[in-house]
Structure 1
Amino acid sequence: MQVVGHFINGEMVADTQRVQDVYNPATGEVVRQVALASKTTVEEAISAAQAAFPGWRNTPPQKRARVMFRFKQLLEENSDKICAALTNEHGKVLDDAAGELIRGIEVVEYACGAPTLLKGEHSKNVGPAIDSWSEFQPLGVVAGITPFNFPAMVPMWMFPMAIACGNTFILKPSERDPSAPLLIGQLLKEAGLPDGVFNIVNGDKLAVDTILEDSRVQAVSFVGSTPIAEYIYATGTANGKRVQALGGAKNHAIIMPDADMDNAVNALMGAAYGSCGERCMAISVAVCVGDAAADELVAKLKPQVEALKVGNGTDISNEMGPLITAAAQERVRSLVAQGVEQGAELVVDGSALVVDGHENGFFVGGCLFDKVTKDMVVYQEEIFGPVLCVVRVDTMQEAMQLIDDHEFGNGTCIFTRDGEAARYFSDNIKVGMVGINVPLPVPVAYHSFGGWKRSLFGDLGAHGPDAIRFYTRRKTVTQRWPSSGVRDGKQFAFPS
């Protein structure tokens, strides 16, 4: 059986002493295995990145940008191959895989502008014959630890900007779907990136802890669950690293009485059930203001959820694929059962779905709950599955309080025709990313992605302007060249 290894210093490295099965979620079959890196292998990757840093740091930003331009072209030329790998190991439908890749390519496009983005500030004659300027210098070796749900996009939230800024990079992708990142690494090499600038180590907690504890790694980016994000942040910062750790979410959509209900329903179908709900920006709670709005929303959602076409992601007619693992499937089924036990009304139950011809696949059909309350487990936890919960409230203020009280503050949205209500909502809600009649308010590449509260640990979000700040240090230089023969007398007062 094929064993997926590591990509270090421009070469594939085996290190197959420990391996883990990689499944096709649609069939439940083991399709390959992935090597889990030893501490030594991770340290080899860090050494390769450290050795490559001086040369890459001193490569002109324009030349670094040209590598990104070629990389973008290669990604587009190989998109079918990358999307097939995503669907084979993650399970998402091919259209969704293509959308993921496009959003990743957008960050590569942004990284192509690094020469402009890295320009500092200059002031002439801040004092007699004294000039002062600031510049952005790379950190050194940096690392990214990324989740299973976006094996291509989330790594590309990180390494294109890090590399364009002059850093070298270690990627530790999810061991559940490792093939797409390795394809991307090989395309970077083909684009002309020097060996050692980008490295991939597949692994588990051992690899993560090695990265967090190695003093040569200057910064760590992470996307995943909140408990792990908190661990990454605490451990990384305790070891003197700069850390951005993006955690979990429980994203609410407020449905106002004046909302265009058909538009809201169509938006919620994609936002709640797209990618089988395995998105940190998925809408998993619809908060309806008034029973009339709730009744209409549920009535319109019910037939559409029941009609969801679920199956193998390689069939382009399917709207939803499987969950990533059997454990994820069992967890979602368990949470649905708990919702029923705690009194929520299960309007549509797809938890026991079996797909013909794929009886061993990790499928769960669309589930729709009504009359969910904030004390229920299905409301409190991030389900990460195709489950939408409808909560009923009397006022917009009550809806906003519900959102503000939740521990997560990643994304939210409101459906309304009232501009005043929308403006008040966006100004005052305690959430990092807000949509107005937009269900998945994921910022474009030249804006930054990041939530509030326990959805983000650290001060800076992903991509956009925050990426320049995260992957560089500002240095300010004050310079004077005195005229020949002119010498200053001693000065003991603070210079002014």
Structure 2
Amino acid sequence: MTQNVPRLQHLIDGKLVDSQSQQWRDVVNPATQEVVARVPFATPDELEAAVASARKAYQGWRNTGQGTRMRVMLRFQQLLREHTGELAELITREHGKTLPDAEGEVGRGLEVVEHACAIASLQLGEYAENAASGIDVYTLVQPLGVCAGITAFNFPVMLPCFMFPLAISVGNTFVLKPSEQDPSASLRLAQLALEAGVPPGVLNVVHGGPDIANGLCEHPEVKAVSFIGSTRVGTELYRRASNAGKRCQAMMGAKNHCVILPDADREAALNHLVGAAFGAAGQRCMATSVAVLVGQAREWLPDFIERAKRLKVNAGTDRQADLGPLVSPSAKERVERLIAQGVQEGAELLLDGRDPKVPGFESGNFVGPTVFAGVKPGMAIYEEEIFGPVLCVACVDTLEDAVAFVNANPNGNGVALFTQDGGAARYFQNAIDVGQVGINIPIPVPVAWFSFTGSRGSKLGDLGPNGKQAVQFWTQTKTVTARWSAHGKGVNTTITMK
């Protein structure tokens, strides 16, 4: 029964607004199947109201001083610190990840807000005095207008932080559509931004599904769209936004590899691999889903299996748990289907995490650590992003073989190398065709003042979130060529400036 379950509201023009929608979705605790909230799928009028509010607020906000915008971000980052526990509990309740992992997610989002606090220096233009005689040339870094963000379920705080803090800091207004699977943390995040001083209309939140995402991509008032999620959805949204003549960045699917050389620190490499493969139940776009063991490192596999067996599977509210549940029953069914398909295709199932026993949470969407060996290209478990706690293991003879193996995969989100050989690391970082590289770092998501730089099949659009690329994505450059002189020097019909 859902009569007494909280009904989530939209955030439009600085106010929480009841939806008039006839279409609602249950938000379910994945550890218990308890309905914890109901989320509306916005009507076309509600989407229009959010965009209209952002459009109305734009001129006033873009002309607000950089110092004022910076101080809003300073207050926002303080509120994020103070409300980390609250946000983490919302994440765990609706997504399922463990509380420590959820707190870490808020911390990564906080990094971006802290970076946005430096907007006064990030939004600087360039100036050249006397670029030609008596002529000065300078650039203005200006906002675009109304912008939008569409986020996946796996990071309901971090992903919105990858979008709206920098977007509004440079003077844009924003409409956010969070995932309908776990929207409460995203909505609360936006409320904290308004509490920090973001004016009404500058940041709006509308809930919904594909129709709202498509509507934002095609709306004539929206100038730029950021999407982080699956390849299938991202490709379609990018097509819609591009066809509508607007900027779009789409960070999409992945198949991240971890290459381990036999000279690596064995203890560190195996522990990092366990965490990167199975943390957040594998529901990270940067999760390590393929281990490539080089040479004698293949002998470490039994040790890895023993470490994986010791991980604790439980509800995310258990602070000693290593893995929580998957986000939904359908996600669990998909992961289990791919595990069965891996067995059918001839991969060796060394550790089977299906149907773990979790006392008190028998109806939860749990899958334990799962490991396949003998995985080859062409197998479904290698070709598809499983998005669960499943590690595929391949063995090769040389580092060059490992580089060729990774580069043959169509995705290019992240990759890691474990070694104590600086020469091998330098060769790897230059030869590998992947956007984000970790050297003895298993999940190489860069700090927020560097850009998130996935490549190939994992990214559409030239510019990624965070860092300098994000500032470029959310702004346009205007170049001014100016002459101020007391007397003209006659007619000049050439294009030369002297």
Sort the TM-score into its range (normalised by shorter chain).
over 0.9
Does residue 1:50 correspond to 2:51, yes or no?
no
Q: What percent identity do the matched residue pairs reach? A: 49
Q: String of CA shifts for 1:288-344, please: whole Å, max 9, x gaps.
A: 112x31122x11111121121011101101111000000000000011111111111
Q: Could you say which residue in structure 2 is the equivalent of 1:491? A: 492
Indicate which of 308, 313, 320 corresponds to 1:310: 313
Q: String of CA shifts for 1:380-425, please: whole Å, max 9, x gaps.
A: 1110000011101122111111111111000001111111111000
Compute the RMSD of aligned alpha carbons: 0.9
Residues of 2 paired with 1:312 and 1:354: CA distance? 12
Indicate which of 279, 283, 293 corresponds to 2:297: 293
Residues of 1 paired with 2:187 and 2:240: CA distance? 27
Code of the aligned partner of 1:39: P
Residues of 1 paired with 2:312 and 2:283: CA distance? 17
Residues of 2 paired with 1:57 and 1:373: CA distance? 53
- Mapping for residues 85-100 of structure 1, pairs under 5 Å: 85-100=90-105
Does residue 1:117 correspond to 2:122, yes or no?
yes
Indicate which of 197, 203, 228 corresponds to 1:198: 203
Indicate which of 248, 252, 257 corresponds to 1:247: 252
Q: Could you say which residue in structure 1 is the equivalent of 2:396? A: 393
Contact 1:326/1:362, CA 8 A, preserved across alignment = yes
Task: Report which stretch shifted further, 6-15 or 46-55.
Answer: 6-15
**Residue 443 of structure 2: SS of its match in structure 1?**
coil
**Residue 219 of structure 1: SS of its match in structure 2?**
strand
TM-score, scaled relative to structure 2: 0.97
**CA offset at residue 450 of structure 1?**
2.0
Does residue 1:232 correspond to 2:243, yes or no?
no
**CA offset at residue 129 of structure 1?**
2.3
Contact 1:43/1:210, CA 8 A, preserved across alignment = no
Contact 1:414/1:437, CA 8 A, preserved across alignment = yes
Contact 1:14/1:35, CA 8 A, preserved across alignment = no
Q: Any gaps of 5 or more consecutive residues in structure 1?
A: none
Code of the aligned partner of 2:303: K
Does residue 1:271 correspond to 2:272, yes or no?
no
**CA offset at residue 52 of structure 1?**
0.2
Contact 1:4/1:179, CA 8 A, preserved across alignment = yes
Q: String of CA shifts for 1:130-151, please: whole Å, max 9, x gaps.
A: 2111110000000000010000
**CA offset at residue 252 of structure 1?**
0.4
- Mapping for residues 442-461 of structure 1, pairs under 5 Å: 442-461=445-464
Indicate which of 457, 461, 466 corresponds to 1:463: 466
Q: String of CA shifts for 1:152-200, please: whole Å, max 9, x gaps.
A: 0011011000011000011011000010011111111111110000000
Code of the aligned partner of 1:294: R
- Mapping for residues 66-465 of structure 1, pairs under 5 Å: 66-290=71-295, 292-296=296-300, 298-465=301-468
Task: Report which stretch shifted further, 68-77 or 11-20.
Answer: 11-20
Residues of 1 paired with 2:440 and 2:409: CA distance? 21
Contact 1:124/1:132, CA 8 A, preserved across alignment = yes
TM-score, scaled relative to structure 1: 0.98
**Residue 113 of structure 2: SS of its match in structure 1?**
helix
Contact 1:140/1:168, CA 8 A, preserved across alignment = yes
Residues of 2 paired with 1:320 and 1:253: CA distance? 20
Residues of 2 paired with 1:44 and 1:89: CA distance? 27
Code of the aligned partner of 2:16: M
Aligned residue pairs, count: 492
Residues of 1 paired with 2:378 and 2:112: CA distance? 39
Residues of 1 paired with 2:413 and 2:240: CA distance? 22
Q: String of CA shifts for 1:30-70, please: whole Å, max 9, x gaps.
A: 11110111111111100000000000000011100000000
Residues of 2 paired with 1:403 and 1:5: CA distance? 44
Q: String of CA shifts for 1:346-368, please: whole Å, max 9, x gaps.
A: 11111121311111111101101
Code of the aligned partner of 1:152: V
Moved over 6 A (4+): none
**Residue 199 of structure 1: SS of its match in structure 2?**
strand
Q: Any gaps of 5 or more consecutive residues in structure 2?
A: none
Residues of 2 paired with 1:88 and 1:270: CA distance? 22
Residues of 2 paired with 1:488 and 1:20: CA distance? 71
Task: Report which stretch shifted further, 86-95 or 350-359.
Answer: 350-359
